[in-house]
Amino acid sequence: MSIFTSIGRYMILMSHIFSRPENGRMYYKEVMRQMNAIGVGSIPIVALISFFIGAVTAVQTAFQFVGSFIPPYYVGYVVRDTMLLELSSTITCLVLAGKVGSNLASELGTMRITEQIDALEIMGINTGSFLIGPKVIAAVVTIPLLVVLSAALGILGGYMAVATSNTIKVSEYLRGLHAFFDPYYVTIMLIKALVFGFLLTSISSFYGYYVEGGAYELGKSSTRAVVISSVAILLADYVLAFLLT
């Protein structure tokens, strides 16, 4: 399939997922189920990664700054802003592209191969809307929340690293967290999380939904879903950096 055919099919699928659902109550239940799977189910991995990224950023920054002319409280400032502007949204979504993306592609791909999607279509259900819509909605709601959690835990990780080492004083780190704060950075973080959440779920669902063949093709499609979602997130990150700053 050429890249233009893929983009065309992706656009057509996106137009279907936002059409009116057949049964609002079932759709709502499915959205809640997906929120639990995508959002709640990803808390442990996001928490673990964010905490250590914050801690490592604090240690590395302190190593660079201590002994230089840069004030030590800048460590807290750097940890906060890198978490808000880049690491929490981008790293979290890249991790989720692997975890959630492969899961969505495999789930939908298996449904396609085992004719479960055909069974839904025979019943007269818009499968794009019923199967993919709730996943996308759940992602654009829960991923920004996960990213907020990630930023908070990253900053906490930095705090713990500073508190348990002899690099800089904790009071300096806390002072840095309060220095030069621009609330717009939080807006940037949330916009990025929303866009990345949409991209990773819609692209992964697309690759799962259109699987043809058997287990071999399903594996390939799942890998492709993760790779293409990750590339899309990085490209979108670059574009958003230009647009929002």
Partner 1 sequence: MIKLDNVRKSFDGEEVLHGIDATFEAGKCNLVIGKSGSGKTVLVKCIVGLFKVSAGHIYYNDTDITRASKKEMRSLRQEIGMLFQGGALFDSKTVEENVRFPLDMFTNRSEKEKRMRVDEVLERVNLQGQNLKMPSEISGGMKKRVGIARAIVMNPKYLFCDEPNSGLDPQTSLVIDHLIYEITKEYNITTVVNTHDMNSVMEIGENIIFLHEGCVEWSGNHENVLTSDNRLLEDFIFASSFLKRAKEALVQDK
Residue 124 as a binder of partner 1 (CB under 8 A): the answer is yes
Residue 187 as a binder of partner 1 (CB under 8 A): the answer is no
Residue 60 as a binder of partner 1 (CB under 8 A): the answer is no
Candidates 70, 121, 187, 231; binder of partner 1 (CB under 8 A) is 121
| CA dist list (Å): 175 to 66, 113, 179 | 16, 56, 6
Query: Cβ of residue 116: shortest distance to partner 1, in angstroms?
Result: 5
Residue 119 as a binder of partner 1 (CB under 8 A): the answer is yes
Please list, residue by residue across 88-111, b when 16 or more beta carbons sit within 10 angstroms of its beta carbon and e when fewer do.
bbbbbbbbbbbbbbbbbbbbbbbb
Site string for partner 1, 73-112 (x = CB under 8 A): -------------------------------------x--
Residue 167 exposure: Cα atoms within 13 Å on the Cβ side: 30
For partner 1, the closer of residues 114 and 164 by Cβ is: 114
Candidates 32, 48, 70, 118; binder of partner 1 (CB under 8 A) is 118
Q: Which of residues 4-33 bind partner 1 (CB under 8 A)?
A: 22-23, 26
Helix and strand totals (H; E) in the chain: 11, 0
Residue entry with tokens 């639990």: 36
Residue 36 as a binder of partner 1 (CB under 8 A): the answer is no
Residue 114 as a binder of partner 1 (CB under 8 A): the answer is yes
Query: Cβ of residue 80: shortest distance to partner 1, in angstroms?
Result: 41
Instruction: Kindly state the tokens that stand for 194.
Output: 């929303």
Residue 63 exposure: Cα atoms within 13 Å on the Cβ side: 8
Instruction: Kindly state the tokens that stand for 65.
Output: 């700054």
Instruction: Kindly state the tokens that stand for 57.
Output: 């950023």
Residue 164 as a binder of partner 1 (CB under 8 A): the answer is no
Candidates 115, 213, 231, 235; binder of partner 1 (CB under 8 A) is 115
Asked if residues 37 and 104 have their Cβ atoms less than 8 Å apart, the reply is no
Binding footprint of partner 1 on the chain (CB under 8 A) = 22-23, 26, 110, 114-116, 118-119, 121-125
